[in-house]
Amino acid sequence: MRMKIGELAKMTGCEVVTIRYYEKEGLLKAPERTAGNYRMYGDAELARLRFIRHCRRHGMSLAEIRSLLAFSDAPEGTCDWIKELIRQHVRNIETQIHDLKLLKRHLEGLYQVCDGGRQRECGILKSLSDGEHCTYCSKRNGAHPCRGGEP
């Protein structure tokens, strides 16, 4: 089946500008053009774009996707590196979950210091103003956003 870029975008839920970007980045091959200079795509490009979108939903970078596509196009050697790539993503997610749990506890604590009603004496604003003694910032992998150490 042949389709224009707008049709491809609708079928994949991908913005037209993103499809063009993926072409520019080499994730999608330059499509055939009609006499009127319209981009024309087929089933192979549809499948490739769906693969790219699926990888993006799984948090993979464009460089990682590029490597996966290159391996898929010409599989040589083992795919052990793909298994390690996924393991690294799992570790990153575990770190994010840990950090989000810390943030949740900190925000719940901030919520408790506000008794409401008095703007000038808002406990939340006072706590947020005291970045040097922020327990959340000091627990978060030693990085302190207030001192430019934001990861």
Give the pLDDT of residue 140. 64
Give the pLDDT of residue 148. 47
Residue 143, pLDDT > 70, answer: no
Q: What is the pTM of this model?
A: 0.74
Mean pLDDT of 21-26: 95
3-state secondary structure of 13: coil
What letter represents residue 102's amino acid?
L
Q: What is the pLDDT of residues 101-140, one digit of tens each?
A: 998 988 888 887 777 766 667 777 777 777 666 777 776 6
> How many whole angstroms separate alpha carbon 67 and alpha carbon 62?
9
Q: What is the pLDDT of residues 27-53, one digit of tens each?
A: 999 999 999 999 999 999 999 999 999
Beta bridge partners of 112: none
Q: At what angle do helices 62-73 and 43-57 cross, to 10 degrees?
A: 140
> How many whole angstroms separate alpha carbon 40 and alpha carbon 140?
49
Give the pLDDT of residue 149. 46
